[in-house]
Amino acid sequence: MLALSAVCVSVTVVVGLVAIALQMDLDRPFLAPLVSTLVPLGVKRNSKKPIVGDRTLVTDLEQLVVVMTGTGTPVADPDRAAQGISVFASGEYLLFDTGPGVAENMAAQGMPRGALTHVFFTHYHSDHIGDFGEVMTTSWVFGRTQTLQTHGPEGLKRVVGGFAQAYGPDMVYRRAHHTAALMPTDNWMPSMNEFTLPDADMNMTSSDPAPLFDVYSKGDLKVQAFRAHHEPVIPAVGYKVSYKGRSVVIGGDSVMTKGHKDACRDVDVCILDAIHHKVIEVTAETFQNMELPEDQGASQYARVSKMLLDTIDYHSAPWDLVELAKESRPSLVIPIHMVPSPTNPLMKRLLTTYYREPIERLPGKRNTEIKFGEDGMAFVLPVNSQEIQEKRY
């Protein structure tokens, strides 16, 4: 959509000049060359990324690439979309979760949307599924001809089927407008690989084993899932992606579990949610003690206070990630879904105290690095290597 945004910017400029020209009673034929000159200039200036995205992400088979397409939370943040992690390997574009804002970030980051092949869901909270309709539609609009394969635990068919039903009229309109030749619909409807978790009907504790099981494979590429602990959200999972000796774990939303530690053991990149319990508690207490009259929202502050405290019992904390780094020794830990979000130098300094410094003090030859997840951050993992290259999209 970036190129379309550029067109809109250009047209806005032209409209302004048109208004000035009309006020000056200039002859209307003057406007045609003005428009034909300014619109292309505007598009070229504002389209910094090709409309098809970076195709090398899917054509280079000698690397595994991870892009932070969304690292935020359900709370609106101008700098972060909700959760979405793009992974490229073996010619495939795998997207893990499609939270609100992810579709727009795919465009802004120059992701090759038409090459999207798979969507994997960790669970079905709104901040992990909210943009699926846009992801499905924009990947189709920008050239996806293959069936979009979706994967997730029980509930997938209901979620994906619901989005497909809601977006069905849009598909019909676009096909009628642009013709079926330009907008073929044979593969518009996603396929659904709904899998069942081992012991899915049982409550889980953080110490229970959560073995990996296969979800998808293609040649050297393998995607495995493991059960996460996000109750009362059942089922919930994390994923491990392996390709030619490189690996990444997307932990999903969860308290820290034995399954996470086992999955992250000696992997290259481990992406985990983390909220600071103490900060949440202080914030909730502040809201609870707000002395406001009812007409200024006193009951709403009390309501939000309760909801904040509720989040503590189903998300990991900073010290959990430090413990995982100590036990599992991944090369790189990336906290996302962070509360508070590291949006300014003071907050980054505070969070560094709780995350990075304890990890840097861990004994042992293999050092685990930590980087706070940010939208657009990317990591390139060349195959048959231990190198991790950081870049931005």
The model's pLDDT over 51-61, given as tens digits with 9 standing for 90+, comes to 778 999 999 99
Q: For the chain, how many structural domains are there in total?
A: 3
Tell me, yes or no, whether 230 and 304 share the same domain: no
Give percent of the chain above pLDDT 70. 85
pLDDT of residue 22: 53
Q: Taking residues 183-194, report their average pLDDT.
A: 95
Residue 49 has pLDDT above 80, yes or no: no
pLDDT of residue 351: 75
Out of 310, 328, 358, a domain closes at 310
Tell me, yes or no, whether 39 and 102 share the same domain: no
Nearest to 105 by CA among 340, 377, 341, 362: 377
pTM, 2 dp: 0.89
Q: Taking residues 163-173, report their average pLDDT.
A: 97
Range name among 109-118, 214-223, 292-301 with the lowest pLDDT average: 292-301
Residue 134 has pLDDT above 90, yes or no: yes
Tell me, yes or no, whether 177 and 71 share the same domain: yes
Residue 6 has pLDDT above 60, yes or no: no
Beta-bridge mates of residue 213: 225
Tell me, yes or no, whether 153 and 42 share the same domain: no
Tell me, yes or no, whether 186 and 241 share the same domain: yes
Q: Taking residues 229-235, report their average pLDDT.
A: 95
In a domain, 53, yes or no: no
Q: Do the strands 369-370 and 332-339 form a parallel or antiparallel pair, or are they unpaired?
A: parallel
Tell me, yes or no, whether 72 and 217 share the same domain: yes
| Averaged pLDDT of the chain | 88
Q: Do the strands 389-392 and 116-120 form a parallel or antiparallel pair, or are they unpaired?
A: unpaired
What range defines the domain where residue 110 resides? 58-276+317-392
- Kindly report the three-state secondary structure assignment for every residue of 242-267: EECCEEEEECCCCCCCHHHHHHCCCC
Tell me, yes or no, whether 160 and 14 share the same domain: no
Read off the tokens for 389.
């290259």
Tell me, yes or no, whether 24 and 139 share the same domain: no
Tell me, yes or no, whether 37 and 63 share the same domain: no
Tell me, yes or no, whether 356 and 304 share the same domain: no
Distance from C-alpha of 198 to C-alpha of 113, rounded to nearest angstrom: 33
